[in-house]
Amino acid sequence: MSLTDRVPDLTTLELLEAIAERGSIGGAASAVGVSQQAVSQRLRAAERLVGAELVSRGRTGSRLTAQGELLLEWSRPILDGARRLRASLATLADSGAGPLRVAASQTISEYLLPGWLHRYARTGGGPVALGSGNSEQVLARLRAGEADLGLVETPDLPDGLARRALGEDRLVVVVGSEHPWADRRDPVTAAELAATPMILREAGSGTRDTLTRSLAEQGLRPAPPAAELATGSAIRAAVRSGLAPSVLSELAVADDLAEGSLLRVPATGLDLTRPLTAVWVGRLHPDAEALLATTDVRAQD
């Protein structure tokens, strides 16, 4: 049996990722560069292939079902590998200098870097090869010589790296509308948060590191997580179900808060801000300096 017999193709996996991020068929079509009709056809074919409904369509948009979220989680390494392969192949076609290799942690790569790259391209910037992962993975790529520039959101940076502060991001406590905290008016305390099993990113992510460090400053340790997921989109879906609270970047939950699918719970006694930092080893790549000149955490066009 060929590997392709029961496995959706890369474009379909990209579409599932785009639906999770954009919340609509039209947005996914635009992101991937295909028609809405093609999106619908691919989704129907994928659902027949895997034997499960992958996308729930409604008047206000589209969301991945639980099965769709699971398929996307399984597909992340494949998509990341395909992007690395594409970037590597691009260097083969370029007989001159290779692209600027940027490794960015997930919140930055999803919510800030697209705008920065757009402005960088408008100013005549050269090609960029982008890799995404958690902050620990970004730092590992830098140390291995696999990236020229790292963009991270962790408060814990190792020695031996040159760095430049880019701004700050704030984490917020969020719950689904059915969660018991949805109607509470008084802020959740640091002790309550520490004692509550939450849906968290994996160890090594800047989001997880910031929460752990903030609780540690109060002499607290977080309870074992209710679930541990590798992407913000998967966590948001689990929180919407009412499973447990989470702590996520304001950037990642802005749309969910605006539409009411997630609710913000005020917290007291915790500093949930975290630095956004550019890091590199040795001499800064000339194109990296040009890219950093476009960075503005407040601007996300």
Mean pLDDT of 294-299: 67
Residue 96's pLDDT band, with cuts at 50, 70 and 90, is very low
Task: State the architecture of 168-274 in CATH terms.
Answer: 3-Layer(aba) Sandwich (3.40)
Residue 143 has pLDDT above 90, yes or no: no
Check whether domain 97-165+278-292 has CATH 3.40.190.10, yes or no? yes
Tell me the pLDDT tens digit for each residue of 167-184. 999 999 999 999 999 988
Tell me the pLDDT tens digit for each residue of 30-62. 777 778 888 899 999 999 999 999 999 888 889
Give the pLDDT score at 160.
79
Question: Residues of the chain with pLDDT > 90: what percent?
Answer: 56
Tell me the pLDDT tens digit for each residue of 260-286. 999 999 999 999 999 999 999 888 888
The dihedrals phi and psi of 60, each to the nearest 5 degrees, come to -95, 5
Give the pLDDT score at 284.
85
**Does 3-76 match 97-165+278-292 in CATH topology?**
no
The dihedrals phi and psi of 48, each to the nearest 5 degrees, come to -65, -40
* Nearest Cα residue to 16 out of 77, 92, 87, 72: 72
Q: pTM for the full model?
A: 0.65
Task: Write down the domain spans for the chain.
Answer: 3-76, 97-165+278-292, 168-274
Question: Residues of the chain with pLDDT > 70: what percent?
Answer: 92
Contact partners, residue 64, CB within 8 Å, separation at least 6: 16, 19, 20, 54, 55, 56, 72, 233, 237
Task: State the architecture of 3-76 in CATH terms.
Answer: Orthogonal Bundle (1.10)
